[in-house]
Amino acid sequence: MSKIKKILIANRGEIACRVINTARRLGIGTVAVFSDADRKALHVRMADEAVHIGPSPAAESYLVVDKIIQACKDTGADAVHPGYGFLSENPDFARALKKANITFIGPAPESMEAMGLKDAAKKLMSEAGVPVTPGYHGDNQEPAHLQKQADKIGYPVLIKAVAGGGGKGMRKVEAAGDFLDALASCQREAISSFGNDQVLIEKYITNPRHIEVQVFGDRHGNVVHMFERDCSLQRRHQKVIEEAPAPGMTDAVRDAMTLAAVNAAKAVDYVGAGTVEFIVDGSGALKKDGFWFMEMNTRLQVEHPVTEMITGLDLVELQIRVAEGGKLPEQTDITMSGHAIEARLYAEDPANDFLPSVGSLDILTLPGIHRVDTGVEQGGQVSIYYDPMIAKLIVHSGDRISAIRDLAQLCQSTQVYPVRTNTRFLFNCLNNAGFQSGDVSTNFIAENWDALNSDGSVDANLSYMAWILRPDPDGSVFGSNDGWRLNQSPRLEQFRMLDGEEIRLSLDDFGTQNRYVTAVKRPEGRVVFIDGLYFLTTNAAGAVGGAAGGNAITAPMPGKIISVNCAAGDKVKAGDKLIVMEAMKMEMSLEAPRDGEVGSVHFVVDDLVADGDILLELKDT
């Protein structure tokens, strides 16, 4: 095949920027595509060319195959990198590109189809000798039949959309009485996200770990692995922290797991980057017979940087080389060193059930001493239309504990305002003794919720010392007004934080628990950052709302109504799920705040609502 000259990235955000960086280093031209919401996005400005492809909703822009192909034709792009999400695992997209004589930087559509439906993939893997989890993968999708199969498997079980991914269309069911409600919710999310509401049912491993193997295939029949990643720290089946290699991994288990992954890839004649995911028995030491095939992602993974850090390979470059017909390195030439760990920085509020936080990034400081992959910058926006990830914070060090400590420090130094983030939550995870010892499972966050969601650094008994940062108009120390003096210590201001208020302290007030914090002067007050949290000293910022209490149920954030389960005049009880809405790829049930009668319902299914809109009101009691 000929060398690629110009790549169109059929994606957005940090993965688009990531691909552009590698393509630029290789001397390959780049084309970005963008929706209305992304007109000023970082990836648009980074690319050599950019093409507008439609309105903000992904279904009208990033997911429209014809618009992507037309953008290729208009710009002369001879290849497409799909990133992850959107069209990355869509075999019809790959076929359409081939028909248009455009190179798809990814696997063959047949390989995608073989691994795209979880039920068929598990059958194929079983035939290939790859261990699979016990469960029901049949075609009979009648709720009563699925309930019977779940009862037979034994609870807890996991309902999973066969076309799912990224934690979407997945529900854990603890008891038979909860099955039908969970099934309906899972199917709604699956049809919305993937256009397919078929599900499978699996036995839920009670103390599971999630370990995956990076595999690569080329057009010469070679398939290699690039070791494993541990992605066990998850919430709602979404990965939070990933690392490589996996804690507690032995050579014997690694050999067995990577061999199974390579065999899985060979079974579908795989070409390009892929990930074989295993559910692993985490009840004790890892065992050669203690892991089972979960699924194969036929694309690059969000967490691919940790593999790059331990191997020294650029996986995007390898994707491009393979798409051009090049050969992969020999397995014996792929080695690993040290330990890498990645945290996903999200615009969300862990204290409020991880509700996404949208708005402008008035302050965004991402320290550059380690690797940071991002698709946003200060002054940008976190939109309601797409995944709320701000950045990936990645550290590589000589050993696991050093990497964890460096990443915790990176989280401490990160500053985002006014959207809420999970920075403090990540900091707490990394500093948890259980996590540091390698005692992790996919239940880790739920089992340690109180400790991980603690704001322990904000204590009225602690005193804080802060640099006061102000604009530096000419870029020199002489243009700043932070109190700098030649041959003297910089001027410092001391605070005692209490409920977001500022109290001046004398030097004598300092104790032994001082923390260094950063304070940034803003028109609305002074923003003080402490271990990943921020506080507005003149007007404490509140958490994102939910039900307004009393008679009204309000929208906790902008989104779309997907289900209305009541009408005016209906009698309801406290906790009844009255309205279901979807925002930023997350389904939320809004419940009755008290017993009563529905007075009025203001929206219907498919309506778009704004943050704070009153969706429903109960009659006065």
- In this model, does residue 476 exceed pLDDT 80? no
pLDDT confidence tier of residue 492, bands split at 50, 70 and 90 = very low
Look at 397-406, 519-528, 530-539, 565-574 and tell me which has the smallest mean pLDDT: 530-539
> What does the pLDDT average to over 34-39?
96
Catalogue all structural domains in the chain, each as residue range(s) with its CATH number: 6-105 (3.40.50.20), 134-203 (3.30.1490.20), 338-440 (3.30.470.20), 464-536 (no CATH), 552-618 (2.40.50.100)
pLDDT confidence tier of residue 367, bands split at 50, 70 and 90 = confident
> What does the pLDDT average to over 27-47?
97
3-state secondary structure of 341: strand
Q: Please provide the DSSP assignment of 154-219 as one string.
A: -SSEEEEEEEEETTEEEEEE-SGGGHHHHHHHHHHHHHHHHS---EEEEEPPSSEEEEEEEEEE-T
Residue 26, pLDDT score: 98
Look at 138-142, 177-181, 546-550 and tell me which has the smallest mean pLDDT: 546-550
Q: Could you tell me which residue, 167 or 130, shows the higher pLDDT?
A: 130
> What does the pLDDT average to over 278-288?
93
Closest by alpha carbon to 422, among 363, 17, 359, 414?
Answer: 414
Task: State whether the Cα torsion 105-107-112-118 is positive or negative.
Answer: negative
Residue 545, pLDDT score: 30
3-state secondary structure of 49: strand
pLDDT confidence tier of residue 98, bands split at 50, 70 and 90 = very high
Q: Could you tell me which residue, 41 or 359, shows the higher pLDDT?
A: 41
- In this model, does residue 117 exceed pLDDT 60? yes
User: What mean pLDDT, rounded, does the chain reach?
Assistant: 86
Measured N-to-C along each axis, helices 251-267 and 118-127 cross at an angle, to the nearest 10 degrees, of 110
Residue 584, pLDDT score: 61
Q: Please provide the DSSP assignment of 533-571 as one string.
A: EEEETTSPPPPP----BTTEEE-SSSEEEEEE---TT-E
Residues annotated as catalytic (active site), given as ranges: 299
Q: Could you tell me which residue, 569 or 237, shows the higher pLDDT?
A: 569
The pLDDT tens digits of the residues spanning 329-341 come to 999 999 999 999 9
Question: What are 611's strand-pairing partners?
Answer: none
Residue 508, pLDDT score: 38
Quote the CA–CA distance of 18 and 25 in Å, as a whole number.
11
Quote the CA–CA distance of 174 and 177 in Å, as a whole number.
9
Closest by alpha carbon to 299, among 238, 216, 175, 358?
Answer: 216
Residue 586, pLDDT score: 67
> What does the pLDDT average to over 76-98?
97
Residue 240, pLDDT score: 96
pLDDT confidence tier of residue 497, bands split at 50, 70 and 90 = very low
The pair of three-digit structure tokens given for residue 76, joined into one six-digit string:
């002369």
The pLDDT tens digits of the residues spanning 195-234 come to 899 999 988 888 899 999 999 999 999 999 999 999 999 9
Residue 134, pLDDT score: 80
> What does the pLDDT average to over 470-477?
44
> What does the pLDDT average to over 384-406?
95
> What does the pLDDT average to over 595-605?
93
Quote the CA–CA distance of 422 and 445 in Å, as a whole number.
13
* Helix, strand, coil share of the chain (percent; to 5): 25, 30, 40
pLDDT confidence tier of residue 482, bands split at 50, 70 and 90 = very low
Closest by alpha carbon to 72, among 4, 8, 20, 166?
Answer: 8
Please report, rounded to a whole number, the percentage of residues in the chain having pLDDT higher than 70. Answer: 86
